[in-house]
Amino acid sequence: MLQSNAGTCLVVACALIALSGCEQPAQPTQNTVEVAQAMDTHPDLSGRWVVGGRRGGGNSIMVIEPNGTEVEFPTFGDYQDALAAGTVSPAARIVGRRPNYRHGNNVYAERDGGMTQRYYASPPLYKPEYWDQVRYLDVNGNVEDMTFICLPAGVPRMGPPIRIVQTESDVVLLYQHRNTWRVVPTDGRDHDPINSQDQTFLGDAVGNWDGDTLVIDTIGLNDLTWLGWPGWFHTNEMRVEERFTRTGDTLSYEVTIHDPDVLMEPWVMDPVELELDRGQGVYVEDPPCIDFDSSHMVTRERG
């Protein structure tokens, strides 16, 4: 009975629309429905994301009040919170980021920096015949590492983005690394038949959803970049798989490197946990890279 009444009402409504001369509202297309359903079921990755919740980086900030009082904050985010709360004056002068150098010595800082960039729980496993090449690149990194002459670090060495903007058909990834950005389609398309054959620093990337995880597949990368500081090179046949999984205000970033020509097995990089930053602080522009005459370096020490 209820079904019959519903059908009758539908017929009457259609008839009234026809008599009034009004056009019936356009019915959504199949593609529109699919997009709407996808947006309803997939988590929104949009937001400002920071490693470990440490906004503005991990170095401390020193500010000097107009009366000469010095105040130190663990991170730039803490300074922003104090500024918003009124516990520090807007007229206070920021001295700058103050890295915690060991013994206050820049040489030690360089060495410590080089060591920490080797702290991987699971480093890539190269085939035996390539370890000599890895060792050579590591020792001669100030000549062989292309980041020393201002070339991009590339995917995945530049790490996770600092901001994600998600739309119905793509995601825009913004990086605090020489102001780099990527636009990755998520509308189901395959790799571009032409662009994927190029060899670039960012490659040709496409995104697809695996449940609640966004999977970005990137190919067409050049072999000028490294996977990591210790001479971890790759070929131009490398394929990078990035996985973004949001759980509440936490975003898990996982990367798997496929390069069977030189690696014994796919390399699963150490995962990174990002926290959502709801603050409204300004983004600090990453200055351009300047080559300080690297060909005249007199030491192989890197930091």
- Asked if residue 206 lies in contact with residue 190, where contact means CB atoms within 8 angstroms, the answer is yes
Q: What is the pLDDT of residue 113?
A: 74
CB crowding 221-239: b at 16 or more within 10 Å, else e: bbebbbbbbbbbbbeeebb
Rounded-to-integer distance, Cα 249 and Cα 217, Å: 24
User: Can you read off the two tokens belonging to residue 121?
Assistant: 């729980």
pLDDT in tens, the chain (303 residues): 333 344 444 433 443 434 444 444 444 444 443 444 445 589 999 999 988 644 444 456 778 899 989 888 877 778 888 988 999 999 988 775 444 556 656 677 677 777 888 888 889 999 999 999 999 999 999 889 999 888 999 999 999 999 999 999 999 999 988 889 999 999 999 999 999 999 999 999 999 999 999 999 999 999 999 999 999 999 999 999 999 999 999 999 999 999 999 999 999 999 999 999 887 777 777 788 877 666 666 677 775
Quickly list DSSP for 217-274: EEE-B-SSS-SBTTTB---TT-EEEEEEEEETTEEEEEEEEE-TTTBSS-EEPPPEEE
CA-to-CA dists, residue 252 to 126, 161, 218, 245, angstroms: 26, 12, 18, 5
Strand order in 60-64's β-sheet?
Answer: 70-73, 60-64, 93-98
Q: What is the pLDDT of residue 23?
A: 44
Closest by alpha carbon to 258, among 209, 211, 214, 215? Answer: 215
Domains of the chain and CATH, by start:
60-98 (no CATH), 123-296 (2.40.128)
User: Can you read off the two tokens belonging to residue 281?
Assistant: 């602080």
Amino acid at 91: A
